[in-house]
Amino acid sequence: MSVIEPDRDVSRLIDRTTATEAATKALRAIILSGEVPAGAPLRQDEVARRLGVSRTPLREALQRLEAEGLVRLDVHKGAVVAKPSIAQVSEIFELQQLLEPVAGRSAMARMTESDLVDLRDILASHTTISDPAAWETGNAEFHARLYDIARKPLLTEMIGQLRNRSGLYVHMLAKSPQGRARAHGEHLEMVSALEVGDTARLETLIRQHLQTTLEWLKAFIED
């Protein structure tokens, strides 16, 4: 019986994990940039060669991006860049409207002054951001920090999964200066509701924020 060398085994796993993460990040950026149009096939040999990874980490990266709604894996066609869909974005936002107000209510009950300071700092740091990618990062940070205050790991995880699914649509919003400004104003209102302890208003603001974003997206998506 051969003896497995743990250090070498772990090293290989880490190398593959690192390659998968790098491939996921690079391919996500390529798709969101619009370089590969929606509906276009992603030929794995070509993509692997361009990214400098083997087929295994690329396949794992494609599975991650499928979970984010950026890639569709078809039995016959292989990997294809996903097309924005009104039906899909409506379902995602409908679920978010169910879960996020619950997290907001719990955040209101558990918040501390330190939490409020963090939220204010996050908003202050991207008030004048004009770069869409940087705005997306700040937007994700704000929502993650807000719902982390709820101290409900499973709920936060479920919201995070839905927000990953909505990444393509948030990317569309981020390209619009008006969309960014509107969202930022709504974020400020949420923090104000937290500051005065108005739970009902916070829940309403969260639902309205999601619904307004959904209606904005519907105007730009061709089904």
**156 token code pair:** 């936060």
Q: What pLDDT was estimated at residue 19?
A: 86
* pLDDT averaged per 10 residues in sequence order, the chain, 223 residues: 44 60 89 86 91 89 90 86 91 97 97 96 86 90 96 96 89 90 95 97 98 92 67
- Number of separate domains in the chain: 2
Are 108 and 77 part of one and the same domain?
Answer: no
Distance of alpha carbon 166 from alpha carbon 130, whole angstroms = 21
Q: What pLDDT was estimated at residue 11?
A: 41
Are 60 and 26 part of one and the same domain?
Answer: yes
Write down the pTM of the prediction.
0.81
Are 139 and 44 part of one and the same domain?
Answer: no
Q: Which residue has the tokens 């096939």?
A: 41
Where does a domain end: 81, 109, 140? 81
Q: What pLDDT was estimated at residue 15?
A: 53
Are 129 and 108 part of one and the same domain?
Answer: yes
- Give how far Cα 196 sits from Cα of 39, 100, 104, 183, Å: 47, 19, 14, 20
Assess contact for 202 and 188: CB atoms under 8 A.
Answer: no
Q: What pLDDT was estimated at residue 4?
A: 41
**158 token code pair:** 């479920």
Are 50 and 105 part of one and the same domain?
Answer: no
Diameter of the chain measured on Cα atoms: 67
Q: What pLDDT was estimated at residue 222?
A: 65
Are 192 and 210 part of one and the same domain?
Answer: yes
Q: What pLDDT was estimated at residue 126?
A: 81
Residue 114: inside a domain: yes
Burial of residue 73 (CB within 10 Å: 0-12, 13-18, 19+) is middle
Where does a domain end: 49, 81, 113? 81
Domain enclosing residue 22, as ranges: 6-81
Calculate the CA 176 to chain-centre distance: 17
**CATH number of the domain within which 208 lies:** 1.20.120.530
Q: What pLDDT was estimated at residue 75?
A: 79
Q: What pLDDT was estimated at residue 93?
A: 96
Host H or E run for residue 73: strand 71-74
What residues are paired with 81 via a beta bridge? 71
Are 108 and 148 part of one and the same domain?
Answer: yes
